[in-house]
Structure 1
Amino acid sequence: MNLNHSLTASKICFYGAGSMAEAIVRGLIHKQVASPDHIAMLNRSSQERLVYLSDRYGVMTANHEESKRSYLQGASIIVLAMKPKDAGEALTQLGPLLQEGQLIISMVAGLSISTIQALLGVKAPIARTMPNTSCSIGQGATGISFSEEVTEAERAQTLSMFEAVGTVSVIPEEQMEILTGISGCGPAYIYYMMEAMIAAGVDGGLTPEQARDLTVQTVLGAACMMTETGEEPSKLRADITSPNGSTQAALEVLNQGRFLELVQAAVHRATERSHEMGNDVKEALK
């Protein structure tokens, strides 16, 4: 099977037209995985937003109920991209419109497969995903869990869609929260450290532009080193840490502040919070 062809032939309807939906659409079109005239984007009220998306990407758009129903019923793939607070009403209305053979891909944070199926009122095939913001530049990391109703062809279509905007990990749904703690929230941890590095550079006399450029390239280079060498971070760290050198002195300060423990605690707290938010969404939608 040609995976790209199987997705290109599909009509994809994004139920929600926010920044993450736009990122996925941009990747699909840029990688020629899907054609703009096979993509529809819907939202509740912002006609200005839809005009922008139509003008920039050439996709079909709608926010009138009759047109939205038509696009939803005619889609091979429906991507849930609304806010969690809007999911209950939207999915309850979507359920009766579903046709046999339609795949539901959810990007709604905290919304479990069982909750989606309960709101729809039907055991539809569901792919639950957790992309991160780096999808907007084609460098995302997306976790995907599939319901048992998803076929091999539908799995292939889902993978093609998110591989167009980065890397993909297929995981059991119960691991979605830890994935959120690592890759979903992860860019923020890196940005936070970069803020501190830039501030230290400015304190030391560099211009803000110099400190920013040096920090950005350092982080980018470190990530590329891991990707291209395949080495573990502990090995790469050891390679540049000379005994009694400046790197060792810096790492000793981080160790005194329990850097590793703090980062791990942050990931686990994000994981816990993701689970709490999921329960909140489930309770709110009852």
Structure 2
Amino acid sequence: MLKNRNITFIGAGSMAEAMISGLINKAGIPPEQITAANHSNERRRLELNEKYNIQTMAFSEISFNNTDVIILAVKPKQAETVLQQLRPVLQDYHVILSVLAGISTRYIEEILEKALPIIRVMPNTSSMIGESITGISAGKYVKNDDLDLAQELSKAIGKVKIISEKQMDVFTGIAGSGPAYFYYLLEHIEDIAVENGLDRELARDIAAQTLYGASKMVMESEDSPAELRKKVTSPNGTTAAGLEALAENGGGIAIERAVVNAAKRSKTLRKEFEKVPAL
């Protein structure tokens, strides 16, 4: 379904780049089918053009007649301005995917004032290597073919889960923001390993492989994370000592609060920029 579909990114930041990289390098989408546009950062456009050989241009230069799928990847505070500029040029055949954190499909529909398919898509930056977990939820005018298209595009950059829009805030707190939590964890493991005599590159490989292996165990095992943890924890052993330190220092609570805070921020963004009741 993606074959011969022209895709235009409105916004050229890190999330747009991650998706562009996944679409080209993992899904094999020809670079000539992809365009990235922003308002004024010509240097960033040149960077993406040189790196991926895609078309880049200023927002004002886009010919939407040659675009099938529009991916909104700007900052939430820019949403209203961009949508107002898009409204007069949109056609019935356009499908709009939004990666705007906290911005609902209803808000986009209200500003555009057109019965166009709006689909919220929340990938993460692991899109760059085709390993995102992406949540998608459909707006009022989305048909099955539109949803299939969004799933196909999202599968090109990793795994996909169809969720209700009410679940999107917590999904954002876990999957959208989640990679940063794990990077933070690995950063601290790496630092303490170096303090205790390991080479930094070696420490990084050890920590990253350990996390990768544990994640793979969860995905391939029928056991829950709690059951897997119990299986590797011998009474009075080294793992038990480490887990005890995590509990004493609020490790579990810290992770819970990270997810809750990120989800809360997603809800706050909707209230700040939409000025409509929460879902």
TM-score, normalized by the shorter chain, greater than 0.5: yes
Taking structure 2 as the reference length, the TM-score comes to 0.91
Moved more, 28-37 or 176-185: 28-37
SS in 2 for 1:8: coil
State how far apart, in whole Å, the 2-side matches of 1:84 and 1:8 are.
30
**Alignment of structure 1 residues 148-159 onto 2, 5 Å:** 148-159=140-151
Q: CA deviation at 1:211?
A: 2.4
**1:3 corresponds to:** none
Q: 1:43, 1:63 within 8 Å by CA — same for their partners in 2?
A: yes
Count of residue correspondences: 276
Report sequence identity in percent. Answer: 39
Structure 2: which amino acid aligns with 1:198? E
Instruction: Tell me the C-alpha RMSD between the 2 structures.
Output: 1.9
Q: CA deviation at 1:172?
A: 0.5
Gaps of 5+ in 2: none
**2:94 corresponds to:** 102
Alignment match of 1:40 (pick from 29, 35, 41): 35
Q: 2:133, 2:160 within 8 Å by CA — same for their partners in 1?
A: yes
State how far apart, in whole Å, the 1-side matches of 2:53 and 2:46 are.
10
Q: 2:38, 2:57 within 8 Å by CA — same for their partners in 1?
A: yes
**1:165 corresponds to:** 157
Taking structure 1 as the reference length, the TM-score comes to 0.89
State how far apart, in whole Å, the 1-side matches of 2:244 and 2:48 are.
50
1:196 aligns with 2:188: yes
**1:224 corresponds to:** 216
Q: CA deviation at 1:161?
A: 1.0
Q: 1:103, 1:154 within 8 Å by CA — same for their partners in 2?
A: yes
State how far apart, in whole Å, the 2-side matches of 1:269 and 1:52 are.
33
Q: CA deviation at 1:64?
A: 6.2
**2:170 corresponds to:** 178
**Alignment of structure 1 residues 116-135 onto 2, 5 Å:** 116-135=108-127
**2:267 corresponds to:** 275
| C-alpha distance 194-64 of structure 1, shift in aligned 2 (>3 A) | closer
**1:19 corresponds to:** 14
State how far apart, in whole Å, the 1-side matches of 2:273 and 2:258 are.
22
Question: Over residues 136-155 of structure 1, what are the superposed CA-to-partner deviations in whole Å (9 max), with x where a residue is unaligned?
Answer: 22211211111131121111
State how far apart, in whole Å, the 1-side matches of 2:262 and 2:13 are.
23
Gaps of 5+ in 1: 1-5
Q: CA deviation at 1:80?
A: 0.7
